[in-house]
């Protein structure tokens, strides 16, 4: 199996995985937030980035009700749109669910899969994520596969083993040639206002990369590995400078441009 991402990395800086086309991938997850009245926020974000461009590749994942409208208002700005989930089946009697093809039709290019909140609330498993990832790639989406350890795993000294196992199970759904990213989110840090130590993040990303190498060989260098878990303007640059951190998955700080812009511009300090 291989990916179709272009070669990544910035040889001048000696980085192995800076994101897509050598750029960090900054993804804003709006979760269950946002109405039509909030669209001016993204218009303001686009205007600010047009005035002061960033080297980052920026993606916003709004609730499904805003995907099409946000894609329309951001058309031509360079900011891309993603979904927050999709079903593995292409269609059928699944009231309330959304297929990957529907997201593409609405203007999405990425989709977040296996977020810790969906795992906890809906009992989603790694095999579920793998099946959704297969459907996403088939429809033309680039899945962002979320994984990470629970606090109990870390306390038991199993954090890195759990992470490696999750990579193997989730990535198994990616068809040959499918493009994807991975987001490491230590579950205990999400929304808690705290992040792991730098050496813990570095170790987790190294373990993910090693698991990818085992599965897809040299193509692992082309897979952005994002960090997500209480990231804001204060710690974004430091986290992005860590080895094998190819971008960030942002929650609360992505809702308002005054909070999100400093995170995006942090990529320009690398």
Which residues are part of a known binding site? 29-31, 191, 230
**Active-site annotation holds for 52:** no
CB atoms within 10 A of CB 35: 9
Which position among 41, 115, 124, 209 bears the catalytic label?
115
CA distance linking residue 254 with residue 252, whole number of Å:
5
Residues 6+ apart with CB under 8 A from 156: none
Hunting for tokens 């193997």 — which residue is that? Answer: 168
Which position among 80, 185, 205, 209 bears the catalytic label?
185
Binding residue numbers for substrate: 29-31, 191, 230
Tokens of 206: 């190294």
**Residues involved in catalysis:** 115, 185
């Amino acid at each position: 199996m291989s990916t179709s991402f272009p070669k990544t990395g910035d040889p001048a800086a000696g980085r192995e995985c800076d994101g897509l086309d050598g750029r960090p991938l900054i993804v804003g997850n709006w979760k269950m937030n946002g109405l039509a009245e909030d669209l001016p926020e993204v218009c303001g974000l686009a205007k600010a980035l047009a005035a002061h461009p960033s080297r980052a590749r920026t993606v916003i994942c709004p609730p499904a009700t805003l995907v099409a409208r946000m894609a329309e208002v951001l058309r031509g700005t360079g900011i891309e749109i993603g979904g927050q989930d999709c079903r593995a089946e292409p269609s059928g009697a699944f009231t309330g669910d959304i297929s990957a093809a529907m997201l593409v039709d609405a203007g999405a290019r990425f989709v977040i899969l296996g977020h810790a909140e969906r795992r906890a609330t809906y009992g989603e498993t790694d095999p579920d994520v793998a099946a959704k990832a297969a459907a996403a790639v088939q429809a033309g989406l680039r899945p962002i596969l979320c994984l990470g350890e629970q606090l109990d795993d870390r306390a038991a000294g199993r954090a890195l083993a759990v992470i490696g196992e999750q990579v193997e199970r989730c990535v198994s759904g990616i068809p040959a040639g499918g493009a994807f990213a991975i987001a490491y989110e230590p579950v205990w840090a999400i929304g808690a206002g705290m992040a792991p130590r730098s050496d813990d993040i570095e170790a987790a990303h190294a373990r993910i990369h090693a698991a990818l190498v085992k599965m897809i060989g040299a193509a692992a260098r082309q897979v952005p590995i994002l960090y997500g878990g209480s990231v804001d303007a204060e710690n974004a640059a430091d986290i992005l400078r860590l080895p094998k951190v190819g971008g960030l998955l942002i929650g609360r700080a992505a809702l308002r441009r005054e909070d999100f812009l400093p995170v995006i511009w942090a990529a320009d300090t690398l």
